[in-house]
Amino acid sequence: IKIAVLISGGGSNLQAIINAIKAGKINGEIKLVISDKKDVYGLERAKKEEIHNFTILQSDFSTKKQWNQAILQVLEDYKIDLVLLAGFMSILDKEIVKAFPNAIMNIHPSLIPSFCGKGYYGKKVHQAVLEYGVKLTGVSVHFVDEGADTGPIILQEAVKVKQEDTVESLAQRVLKVEHKLYPKAVQLFTQGKLKVEGRKVFILE
């Protein structure tokens, strides 16, 4: 299947998917990387793998709608089957979500529905986790719907919070789990093992 990865930063999750494909763990191909930020390291990772990559900035368009249109156009031009948001910091509008029903995934560094939605991204998630004093955080991979981190959950894995954790140490441990969980979710998709019924995702054996 043809995969597109949307990034806004370092692209370590993009790299995890690249590595999983090279290791033969995902029968799919990344045909396209789109960044909504300029000169991010994730674009270097794409260039190193000679993956077609585009920077599509909201500031280059007079409306967010036109920005969304530009992204949708490229996804269609490349005949993409699965869109992966990986450290992507913008919200895609419903037109794109409708064009890829249960074919857009996102990874979030917490156990949804905790510490997610507006304002909970990147390090802010781990800050809130530490401030709250929860004993367990984790990683969630979900299908994208019109909301922020609200779509049907595909996979989750818990990560223990240690007494001595800092935002950095926790972020690092959570990121390692992301790099394992995302490729697993993508492989299940390529094997046709994900069945969505309403809010629930069933994993077929």
Task: Enumerate the known binding-site residues.
Answer: 11-13, 64, 106
Which residue type does 35 have?
Answer: S
Q: Which stretch, 5-13, 63-71, 97-105, 140-148, contacts ligand GRF (CB under 6 A)?
A: 5-13
Distance of alpha carbon 101 from alpha carbon 28, whole angstroms: 18
Q: Which stretch, 9-17, 26-34, 53-61, 193-201, contacts ligand GRF (CB under 6 A)?
A: 9-17
Among residues 107, 112, 128, 170, which is the contact residue for ligand GRF, using CB under 6 A?
Answer: 107
Active site residue 108: yes
x/- contact string, 146-185, with ligand GRF (CB under 6 A)?
Answer: -----------------------------x--x-------
116-145 binders of ligand GRF (CB under 6 A): 122
H or E stretch including 143?
Answer: strand 136-143
User: Pick the catalytic residue: 108, 126, 142, 179?
Assistant: 108
In a 13 Å sphere around the CA of 141, the CA atoms on its Cβ side amount to 28
Question: Residue 14: how many CB atoms within 10 A of its CB?
Answer: 28
Nearest-approach distance from CB 124 to ligand GRF, in angstroms: 9
Selection from 119, 108, 120 nearest residue 177 by Cα:
108
Q: Is 86 in the site for ligand GRF (CB under 6 A)?
A: yes
Q: Is 11 in the site for ligand GRF (CB under 6 A)?
A: yes
Structural contact between residues 68 and 95, judged by C-beta atoms closer than 8 angstroms: yes
Q: Which is nearer to ligand GRF, 17 or 97 (CB)?
A: 17
Tell me the number of residues near ligand GRF by CB under 6 A: 14
Binding-site residues for (6R)-10-formyltetrahydrofolate: 64, 106
Nearest-approach distance from CB 86 to ligand GRF, in angstroms: 5
Structural contact between residues 28 and 58, judged by C-beta atoms closer than 8 angstroms: no
In angstroms, what CA-CA distances link 90 with 8, 24, 50, 137, 184? 8, 30, 25, 23, 24
Q: Which three-class secondary structure state does DSSP give residue 200?
A: strand
Question: Residue 50: how many CB atoms within 10 A of its CB?
Answer: 7
Interface residues toward ligand GRF, by CB under 6 A: 7, 9-13, 42, 86-87, 107, 109, 122, 175, 178
Write out the catalytic residue numbers.
108
